[in-house]
Amino acid sequence: MATTKIFPITATTGKAIAYIAKAEKTDNGRLISTYMCSRDPDKAAKEFAEVTATGTGRSKVLAQHFIMAFKPGEVTPERAMEIGKEMCEKYLKDQYQYFLAVHTDKGHVHLHCIFNNTNLINGLTFETLENRRFTEKDRSYNKLRTLADEVCKRHHLSVVEHPEMGKGKSHWEWDMNRQGLSWKAKLKYTIDQVIKESEDFDDFLRKCADFGVLVEYNPDHKIDLKFMLAEQKERNPRAKMTRAKTLGWFYETETIKNRIAQYQGGWIYVPRTKIKERTVKAPNRFVQDAIDRGNMKLASIAKNVIAEYGVEPDQIKQAAISEYAHSRGLLSELNNMKTEIEDLQVKLKVLRKHRKLKVYGEELKALSGSAAKKYRKEHSAELTEYGQIRTKVLELYPSGHIPTVECLDKKINALIQERSLKDQQFREADKRARDLADAQRTIEEFLRQERNEQQQDRKRKKNGDLE
């Protein structure tokens, strides 16, 4: 399937262009195409800078970089170049310089496009031209993703059928803000999406590249699994892979296998309405075994888990995975609701301004002759603004069914309240998942220590017998 992502360049455009233009990646430069700039990376960067210097904006962003990756074996490099040119033509509309390169050095063909953040024609910045007063920072990404799907379908290529569950800039940004993390949140979120799309662990390892994740797996090593975002490697070639264990228990090999098996088995989580605390009347078998072995700490942990969550110790692992999957589902729902709320807030702002300016249009309509001419002269600014905002309203509501400000405001408040309740559900599910995972790790550590002590005891006894 074809996947897309876009991010800004704020440091050095020259280095970014030089990277995507490397000969070993582009078949010695054959798979490069440019618009209004040189094919030489250094010259292209200087030409970008010359246009930026004449711009009207004060943005810190120098250029934009979008990447489009294709399913392995689905396209040839030449066809990917055709698709890239079509994307640039439709997305940039001959208004921005761009440097396009198709890479063939990975297991899948993918293309990079770096385009100037300053418009060639009017000097406006890409963000200003695209977003204006809108608050959705990912609006440009949504346009890119929609256009990519349209182009891929026209070329009979596969696309992500449920992009709201796939990786995307707005999803990543929101997950980052929620967790207070940076690239690690992006990496974890993307791995979650790969797991949902995978048939088994081998398929998971193959599909990581499709989602922009670099992976190293060596079952013979103690640290058997490592990850990194391809985007992070592109920005910092010296960046190191992250151990799965560092990301958390949910991203270790065996847990990933279990999560994939749950999705493939059609598992459905049915949340409990309330967790009831209960005391353990008869000792659990696991607890009793721990007591008999003299491991009271292990027995205490197990009893606490049973009392608080009603989960048997031998079921903690699956329960933790289930709770985590449930929390990720709630997170996606929260993200969708946030997008809907922000979209309605943009519309509400437009409708309020329309209602405020509408009076000028109605008053003009009631006049005629010299009176109308005089009114137009006195209120030319307001009437011009009214015409612009009326056009915007018709763009937002082409059917002509325009809601009232009060109705839209009421709908937004209802969604905000609903989202607040769902946010609480997410926090509770996320806490349960973390608590169960911590308990699982602690139990495993105690068992490991116990096994080590038993082995040492056997060695001491054996050495004593020999003496």
Predicted confidence (pLDDT) per residue in 61-72, tens digit: 889 999 888 877
Domain that holds residue 235: 184-264
Asked if 306 and 419 sit in the same domain, the reply is yes
Q: Are strands 32-35 and 110-116 parallel, antiparallel or unpaired?
A: unpaired
Residue type, 80: A
Cβ-count burial of 143 within 10 angstroms (0-12 exposed, 13-18 middle, 19+ buried)? Answer: middle
Give the per-residue pLDDT at 276.
Answer: 39
CB 145 within 8 A of CB 168: yes
Q: Are residues 210 and 275 in the same domain?
A: no
Answer with the one of 264, 291, 308 that is the final residue of a domain: 264
What are the pLDDT digits (tens) for 103-135? 988 777 899 999 999 988 888 888 644 444 444
User: Of the residues 239, 264, 289, which one is the last residue of a structural domain?
Assistant: 264
Q: What is the CATH number of the domain that holds 11?
A: 3.30.930.30
* 430 and 345 assigned to the same domain: yes
**Could you tell me if residue 168 is inside a domain?**
no
Sheet holding 213-217: strands in order across?
A: 213-217, 225-229, 242-243
Q: Are residues 282 and 324 in the same domain?
A: yes
Number of domains in the chain: 3
Q: Are residues 259 and 272 in the same domain?
A: no
Give the model confidence (pLDDT) of 393-433 as tens digits: 988 888 888 999 999 999 999 999 998 998 888 888 888 88
Query: With contact defined as beta carbons under 8 Å apart, do 116 and 96 qualify?
Result: yes
Give yes or no for a contact between 70 and 21, defined as CB atoms under 8 angstroms apart.
no
Of all helices (H) and strands (E), which one includes residue 301? Answer: helix 296-309
| Least confident window among 83-87, 120-124, 311-315 | 311-315
CA distances from 451 to 266, 296, 348, 457 (A): 37, 15, 64, 10
Asked whether residue 175 is assigned to any structural domain, the reply reads no
Q: Cα–Cα distance between 330 and 268 in angstroms, integer?
A: 13
Same structural domain, 60 and 102 = yes
- The reply to whether 90 falls in a domain is yes
d(CA 146, CA 141): 9
Does the pLDDT at position 281 exceed 50?
Answer: no
404, part of any domain: yes
Whether residue 338 is found in the same domain as residue 372:
yes
β 110-116/213-217 pair status: unpaired
Task: Note whether residue 274 is domain-resident.
Answer: yes
| pLDDT, position 289 | 65
Dump pLDDT digits (tens) for 337-389: 887 898 899 899 999 999 999 999 999 989 999 999 999 999 999 999 999 99
Please provide the average confidence, as pLDDT, over all residues in the chain: 79
In a domain, 179, yes or no: no
Looking at 127, 161, 195, the residue that finishes a domain is 161
Beta-strand relationship, 98-103 and 3-9: unpaired
Contact, 332 vs 164, CB < 8 A? yes
Per-residue model confidence (pLDDT) at position 301: 65
- Both 313 and 413 in one domain: the answer is yes
